[in-house]
Amino acid sequence: MWEFWRSRLSKGKSRHRGRGTGSDAESPNTARSAELPAAEAELLASQFPENSTHVYFKDVILPASDDSDDESESASMSQSEGADVSCLGMRGELRKVSVKRRRQKVDRQKLIIILVGLPGRGKTFLCNKLMCYLNWLGHETRHFNVGQYRRKQKGDAGVQDASFFDHSNPEGVQAREKALYAALDDMEAWLATDDAQVAIFDATNSTEERRHLLKSRFHLKWQYLFIESICHDPQVLEQNYRHKMLYSPDYQNVDTEAALLDFKERIRKYEEVYETITDRSLHYIKLIDMVTGRGYLDVNRISGYIPGKMVFFLMQVCKAGVTRMRKIWLTRHGESEYNMKALIGGDSLLSPRGEVYAKVLPDALVDRVPLTSDGQTMPVSVWTSTLKRTIQTAEHLPFPKLRWKVLDEIHAGVFDGMTYEEIERKMPEEFAARKRDKLRYRYPSGESYMDVIQRLEPVIIEIERERECVCVVAHQAILRALYGYFTKVPLAEIPRLEIPLHTLIELVPKPDGRMAEERIAFDLEHDLQAMVRGLNVGSDVATPMTPFTPMVGLEREQSAASGFASQGKTSNVHRSLSGRNLTALGSVALPQLGASAGASLTG
């Protein structure tokens, strides 16, 4: 009898296994079809045209081409010219069948994120947050902003005011299309490299025509999805507009009010042709008023590991809102007994110097808590590890505290309690391996920095969704990973970041998703001597560190973001709470699970 073998090498080919050899052996199918009445045979033959792309075996209809890999795209997939293969006809004869073959496979290791939305709707915020998150997790991500290409090709010639963005301005349309294709060419060239994984294509992409152009260009080459940001809140929009005027290259050396009027006119030009995404055949995430912290998501045809993580991440990031003023503090525990002996790991207590830091830290921190819009002190929660030295460091802070097991120091495995000199002497191979690749090196029976980053992801999610201030008292490796996320430090540089003892790092989120940073160093010598003599420990020991060298990918500032100048007020009553008067705050209540004080994930 005849058998049809469905494999990539024998697809569409028939194999004869009847008695006899070659083509002289009579097929049972041929004999059976010959016994059919002529009218019935003609009817059956008419149901299976010569150009059929299926093979019929017994009672089963088999496709000549296996489309299981891309069944969701089969309806719109472009195809190349067919190739003729032999298959079995209904009357038993071998005939030629035209089989359509796919032009090429989709590269499912690459993803393009296409941003959609009017100016001032939070696209830059979403882009910067996704860049931080995906790169931090190890997915190489790059940003391609069409506006940067437009400004680059303009140079110093010409003014790109609101009239430039008028859809009826042919010169403006031509210039913007030139910038579009330049950005697309660079993005596709980067995606062709081995390390590239996620590209963020940042433009308004505000019409169906533009989105269709992008879809046709990326189709059957890479995975792609759209993220549209919509905002209807006038107050949030006004704040976004004013902040954009502070850093937009389009309005450098332009009066703020004049720039604001021109920018609003530009938006009106875009609104004349703007079309929201309505095509349910597209893969998209639509954020409606999410940047206000009170909106919702419309998720359509999203699947896969990275797209799924993005949906969850955006839900948490947008919960806190874009314009809410808050601060994030990072500090190592005070000097410990193991620090004095240069030992790694362990669960030692604080040294006398570390105890001094624990006593002076509340004064500096309380003085820096911002006020809400109604003049109230913003709530603060303190997160520590489960190790003694961080718990001791935070014990004098007058805020709710919780302990996270995931904030424990990197596990040194069999090297716990040893010095690096001892490790180099006893196990030089391990010492050299760690020196070669500190990011991925895993201590024997311990952890690597990549392991630490993976277990810290829940902490990042909880900090991002917080509406209040958070102070994290943890360890060097832990704070390196957290600091690297918030400041967009390249993954390979995280294990070598400088996080000194007795230094408070203050991060202020900006509306565009970046961080303004200030470091406050503590001089403990005076108070250490006072403690030795049995005197009271003073509070005037915290001084800003200047100058501070910026890290890669972060705009550092020695003050809070200028866009928050009107909001970032500090309470004058905080000084009355410092020193011995900290008890005026009353008892400290533990935060509830899921409340804004932080998830109560005590380890």
Annotated catalytic residues are: 333, 409
Which residue numbers belong to the known binding site? 332-339, 389
CA angle 440, 307, 142 (to 5 degrees): 60
Segment holding 473, helix H or strand E: strand 469-474
Point out the annotated binding site for substrate.
332-339, 389
- φ/ψ of 247, rounded to 5, equals -125, -5
Of residues 519, 515, 517, 520, the one with CA closest to residue 543: 520
Length of the chain: 603
Burial class (CB in 10 A: 0-12, 13-18, 19+), 460: buried
DSSP state of 573: G
Determine how β-strand 380-384 pairs with β-strand 328-332: unpaired
According to DSSP, residue 286 is labeled: E
Residues 568 and 574: their CA atoms lie apart, in Å, by: 15
**Nearest one of 559, 557, 542, 551 to 502, comparing CA atoms:** 542
Helix (H, G, I), strand (E, B) or coil at 265: helix
CB count, 10 Å around CB of 150? 22
| φ, ψ for residue 41, nearest 5 deg | -65, -40
| Helix (H) or strand (E) run with residue 98 in it | strand 94-99
**127 neighbors 513 (Cβ within 8 angstroms):** yes
DSSP codes joined into one string, 386-429: SSHHHHHHHTT--S-EEE-GGGSPPP-GGGTT--HHHHHHH-HH
